[in-house]
């Protein structure tokens, strides 16, 4: 087997010493030293200008140079050249700190004929090659546009390039030797989120195992995809708004019907109450119809609220049937003139998803099915929604339609962004592309089968949730039984109708104080009045519920834990972040009165959160 060649320059003015050095190098079994000999510094400089060199063995007492200056002169020609000093004054030279910092090794001349000489020199060569390779790797990593972090087996950071410092927005001194632990499989992309003062950053990280300074380590390459994620979120929101715009007229119709029934029944009830006409049973029937109409409106509002939420990527174990029912209600007026809808739900596990985004997928597929069929002959066409467990254990949701089918030339481009077969102004061409992006981000896939003249089937496949979580109501629901002692309840809302309604609902059980302005309620609290429960609207014009809470949390912390926020929807980023940050109860409008009463009793009866005396 051919041995590797190490080009070696021996700088020695004594021919006998030079020959003994060359002979000593022949003792290596791993490599072959190709030795050239010169007798002065000038000759060495000339040789180095004309030849590549892996190693220089140098005597410091030359005719034209002595001491450490000889080494410096050679290093000026090749800064990475390893230099080993071979001298009869090795012990004295080793005491020179200046020399130790300049050369790789110092070896006594009387050791050049020993068995270890060649191995000692070879170690210097290999160590220098490793150092060169390491420096070259650092230069490569420094030049890459991605952030690069190297950690050892314990997660301790050993190296970062400038791009990593920019991504984490911290200094090298802060990060070096700090522990960085991440969950990522080697070679697979994982998402990394970092919260910094300038906002959240999102990175796509890939990890590989390799050696760093001879130690087993991990290299993490992080590509900053913050702008890409923000753009995707904007596209998702835009597509959601397009869907809402498509359904707006139908949703208004769905609200107007029960609203008309609600107002008509309340009018009848008012007439009967003022004229004392009609029986008590008839009055209860009228009020029951009014309540049913109100419940229909509340369900529509809840469906819209769920669909419109814009959380970044909050995921939870979710029942796909509940999402499908909600989407079917929203889309019904859009597709009712095209086809009937049949649901065939199987027994499927929960899926870990972002509910608004999965709603967006289902709504797109359902509306697309209706539009593919087209209006007319609704009694002859059908959209069938089937849920089942696929052969690989994933949850499958199939959307069957009896439309005309998709031509083969269109099928190839179906998920291409901005491709649409709809008339100009009727579609953006982003719907299916966004659906595919959402489903993939949830760890699933979307497929389809279609035959011209026989309809299409779109299938969404999602991995089952690893944790089965039963459905639990936000507020405990139980039959109401008035407490023997009344409680003090403070209600704050700028909507006078809401104030009057809550006062009527709660006054039979509690002492209720109402304010339409949070600042006035704050004044009462600061004067010393205390309440068992404080119901506070989140969004108000003069002082918001968030500002009110911040003030009493600082001044009256015992009262701040009594706050329950009432909200018809957190529409601003500030409000959403506030609700995520502050661990207080909340009540969604329209109210579930039974749940509200139970929550008030729960908070009022909590001894750890009792009101403080004035």
State the Cα–Cα distance between residues 524 and 386, nearest whole angstrom: 57
CA-closest candidate to residue 596, choices 495, 487, 475, 490: 475
pLDDT tier at 299 (50, 70, 90 boundaries)?
low
- Rounded-to-integer distance, Cα 244 and Cα 251, Å: 9
Separation of alpha carbons 354 and 572, rounded Å: 19
Q: Which of 140-144, 147-151, 338-342 has the highest mean pLDDT?
A: 338-342
Q: Is residue 296 predicted with pLDDT exceeding 50?
A: yes
Query: What pTM was computed for the model?
Result: 0.46
Q: Which of the 8 DSSP states describes residue 434?
A: H
pLDDT digits (tens, 9 = 90+) for 392-423: 999 999 999 998 888 888 877 777 655 455 54
**Cα 382 from chain centroid (whole Å):** 39
Query: What's the whole-number average pLDDT of the chain?
Result: 79
| Interatomic CA distance for residues 330 and 245, integer angstroms | 12
Q: What is the pLDDT of residue 609?
A: 44
Query: Per-residue pLDDT tens for 429-459?
Result: 446 777 888 888 888 999 999 888 889 999 9
Beta bridge partners of 396: 388, 461
- The helix or strand, by DSSP H or E, that contains position 418, with its residue range, turns out to be none
The number of angstroms, rounded, from the C-alpha of 301 to the middle of its chain's C-alpha atoms is 28
Taking the C-alpha atoms of residue 347 and residue 460, their distance in angstroms, rounded to an integer, is: 16
Sign, Cα dihedral of 478, 481, 482, 487: negative
C-alpha to C-alpha distance for 330 and 309, rounded to whole angstroms = 15
The span from the CA of 396 to the CA of 445, in Å, is 10
In the structure encoding, which two tokens stand for residue 15, read together? 């021919």
At residue 238, the pLDDT reads 62
Instruction: Kindly state the average pLDDT of the residues 227-232.
Output: 70
Per-residue DSSP letter, 613: P
Vertex 537: Cα angle to 539 and 505 (nearest 5): 145
Cα–Cα distance for residue pair 576/586, rounded to 1 Å: 12
* Residue 91 confidence (pLDDT): 57
Is pLDDT larger for residue 300 or for residue 554?
554
Q: Tens digit of pLDDT for each residue in 351-391?
A: 998 888 888 889 889 988 888 888 878 888 999 999 999 99
Sheet with strand 215-224: strands edge to edge: 157-160, 147-152, 215-224, 199-212, 190-196
DSSP state of 7: E
Q: How far is CA 63 from CA 8, 55, 69, 192, 193, in A?
A: 21, 21, 13, 63, 65
Structure tokens that stand for 40 in this block: 């002065």
DSSP labels, 343-374: EE------EEE-HHHHHHHHHHHHHHHHHHH-
């Amino acid at each position: 087997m051919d041995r590797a060649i190490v080009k070696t320059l021996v700088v020695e003015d004594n021919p006998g010493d030079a020959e003994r050095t060359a002979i000593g190098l022949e003792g290596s079994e791993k490599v072959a030293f190709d030795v050239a000999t010169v007798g002065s510094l000038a000759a060495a400089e000339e040789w180095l200008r004309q030849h590549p060199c892996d190693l220089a063995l140098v005597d410091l007492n030359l005719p034209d140079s002595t001491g450490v200056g000889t080494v410096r002169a050679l290093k000026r020609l090749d800064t990475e050249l390893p230099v080993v000093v071979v001298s009869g004054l090795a012990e004295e030279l080793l005491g020179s700190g200046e020399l130790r910092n300049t050369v790789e090794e110092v070896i006594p001349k009387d050791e050049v004929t020993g068995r270890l000489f060649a191995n000692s020199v070879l170690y210097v060569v290999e160590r220098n090659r490793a150092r060169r390779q390491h420096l070259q790797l650092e230069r490569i990593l420094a030049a890459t546009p991605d952030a690069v972090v190297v950690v050892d087996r314990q997660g301790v950071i050993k190296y970062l390039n400038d791009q990593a410092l920019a991504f984490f927005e911290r200094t090298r001194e802060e990060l070096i030797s700090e522990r960085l632990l991440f969950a990522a499989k080697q070679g697979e992309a994982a998402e990394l989120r970092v919260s910094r003062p300038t906002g959240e950053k999102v990175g796509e990280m890939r990890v590989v195992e390799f050696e760093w300074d001879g130690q087993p380590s991990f290299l993490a390459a992080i590509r900053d995809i913050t702008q890409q994620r923000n753009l995707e979120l904007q596209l998702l929101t835009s597509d959601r708004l397009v869907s809402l715009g498509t359904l707006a007229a139908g949703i208004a119709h769905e609200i107007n019907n029960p609203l008309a029934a609600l107002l008509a029944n309340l009018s009848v009830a008012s007439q009967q109450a003022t004229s004392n006409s009609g029986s008590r049973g008839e009055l209860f029937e009228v009020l029951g119809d009014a309540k049913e109409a109100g419940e229909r409106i509340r369900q529509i509002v809840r469906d819209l609220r769920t669909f419109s939420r814009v959380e970044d990527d909050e995921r939870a174990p979710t029942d796909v049937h509940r999402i499908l029912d909600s989407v079917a209600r929203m889309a019904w007026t859009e597709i009712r003139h095209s086809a009937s809808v049949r649901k065939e739900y199987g027994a499927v596990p929960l899926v870990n998803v972002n509910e608004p985004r999965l709603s967006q997928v289902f709504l797109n597929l359902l509306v697309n099915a209706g539009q593919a069929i087209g209006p007319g002959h609704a009694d002859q066409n059908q959209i069938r929604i089937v849920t089942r467990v696929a052969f690989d254990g994933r949850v499958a949701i199939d959307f069957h339609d009896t439309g005309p089918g998709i031509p083969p030339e269109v099928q190839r481009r179906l998920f291409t962004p901005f491709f649409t077969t709809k008339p100009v102004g009727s579609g953006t061409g982003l719907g299916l592309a966004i659906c595919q992006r959402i489903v993939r981000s949830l760890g699933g896939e979307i497929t389809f089968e279609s035959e011209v003249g026989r309809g299409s089937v779109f299938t969404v496949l999602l991995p089952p949730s690893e944790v089965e979580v039963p459905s639990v109501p936000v507020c405990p629901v139980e039959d109401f039984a008035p407490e023997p002692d009344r409680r003090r309840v403070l209600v704050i809302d700028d909507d006078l109708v809401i104030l009057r309604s809550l006062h009527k609902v709660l006054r039979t059980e509690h002492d209720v104080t109402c304010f339409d302005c949070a600042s006035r309620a704050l004044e009462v609290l600061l004067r010393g009045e205390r309440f068992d429960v404080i119901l506070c609207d989140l969004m108000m014009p003069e002082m918001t519920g968030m500002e009110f809470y911040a003030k009493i949390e600082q001044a009256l912390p015992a009262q701040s834990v009594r706050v329950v926020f009432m909200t018809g929807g957190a529409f601003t980023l500030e409000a959403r972040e506030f609700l995520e940050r502050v661990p207080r109860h909340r009540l969604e409008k329209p109210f579930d009165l039974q749940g509200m009463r139970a929550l008030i009793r729960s908070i009022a009866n909590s001894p750890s959160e009792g009101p403080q005396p004035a």
